[in-house]
Amino acid sequence: MRSGEEAQKGFPNIANPGKATLLALGKAFPHQLVMQEFLVDGFFKNTNCDDSDLRKKLSRLCNTMNFLILLSLCFTYDSLPSKDCLRPTVKQRLDICNDAVTEMAIEASRVCIKQWARPISDITHLVYVSSSEARVPGGDLFLAKGLGLSPETQRVMLYFMGCSGGVAGLRVAKDIAENNPGSRILLANSETTIIGFKPPSADRPYDLVGAALFGDGAGAMIIGSGPVLRLERPLFELHTAIQNFLPNTEKIIDGKLTEEGISFKLARELPQIIEDNVESFCEKLMGTVGLTDEDYNKMFWAVHPGGPAILNRIEKRLDLFPEKLNASRRALMDYGYASRN
């Protein structure tokens, strides 16, 4: 991905013909914000948990994360109805999630479209990504309806892609843009923690990582090739997309949809696995544009902010200057880990 800043470093400052470009950005969050300094007390109070050891663990995690705010939540805990309000069913969660993620996606998309400054009728395709809802017809239809998109808008819905969903959406939008000249794709992603919220338990200590790290939010962007002069201002060029699955790692990030919502378990060795493999991946990616590891500190980096430990390992292995991951660290600090966004 190339930005306008790189025109000074040998990249052209105009869009390459036929290449997908990012034309506008938008974001949205729940109107209810939880400052992280109040997270621990609120979390244990609202879940009626008095386990002092778990409280201390969550406090340590929050201190390690060092966020300014945690963007959450689209609901209050007591709005999850059930005989045992701490264990709501998937249906009860989805009754809230389906509407909540659509509302955030609509808000983020409107911000994006306003920045783009072209008529909404010029949007030809919609790509919508979410792991926080499940319904038929899918959330892509409700998002299109909420925005007032043309019924002829071509839609793609990506469900339950995990943490890679946002990048998968970028890859799909890039392919659509480059294979349909003149098309304009609205890519939207919206997530909430409701679908996986659980009270603290000594049997699931890894749930505390999610409580300290995850936040709710939505992001949107307009993507297209051949920007129209005087009407559109390309922010980035989507030059190349590659993907690499590491064999025998499918259980390192293990998610299951159960009667009590989504359960995630992150293996302790995840940061180490990323550190061990990120260098070879980057070498292959950068090689497609003729760059080497000597160019890493000349580039702008927007790394998926999966947590401080992961960012630290990437910085260490690639020998990056500390400021190179500032964008990712700031996003993590200001918004928490808003999942696929």
Q: Which residues are catalytic?
A: 163
Report the Cα–Cα distance between both ends of the chain, in Å, rounded: 16
Residue 237: both structure tokens together: 């060029």
| Helix, coil or strand: residue 236 | strand
40 CA to centre of own chain: 24
Cis-peptide into 12, omega within 30 deg: no
Residue type, 26: G
Cross-strand pairs, 3: 236
Residue 108: both structure tokens together: 């983020």
DSSP for 156-184, please give it: EEEES-GGGHHHHHHHHHHHHHHHSTT--
Element (DSSP H or E) covering residue 127: strand 125-130
Residue 16: both structure tokens together: 């390459």
What is the rounded CA–CA span in Å between residue 168 and residue 78?
A: 35
Element (DSSP H or E) covering residue 191: strand 185-191
Classify residue 84 by burial, with Cβ atoms within 10 Å: 0-12, 13-18, 19+.
exposed
Element (DSSP H or E) covering residue 155: strand 154-159
What is the rounded CA–CA span in Å between residue 129 and residue 137?
A: 14
Among 170, 104, 173, smallest CA distance to 132 is for 104
Q: Is the dihedral of CA 85, 86, 87, 92 positive or negative?
A: positive
- Length of the chain equals 341
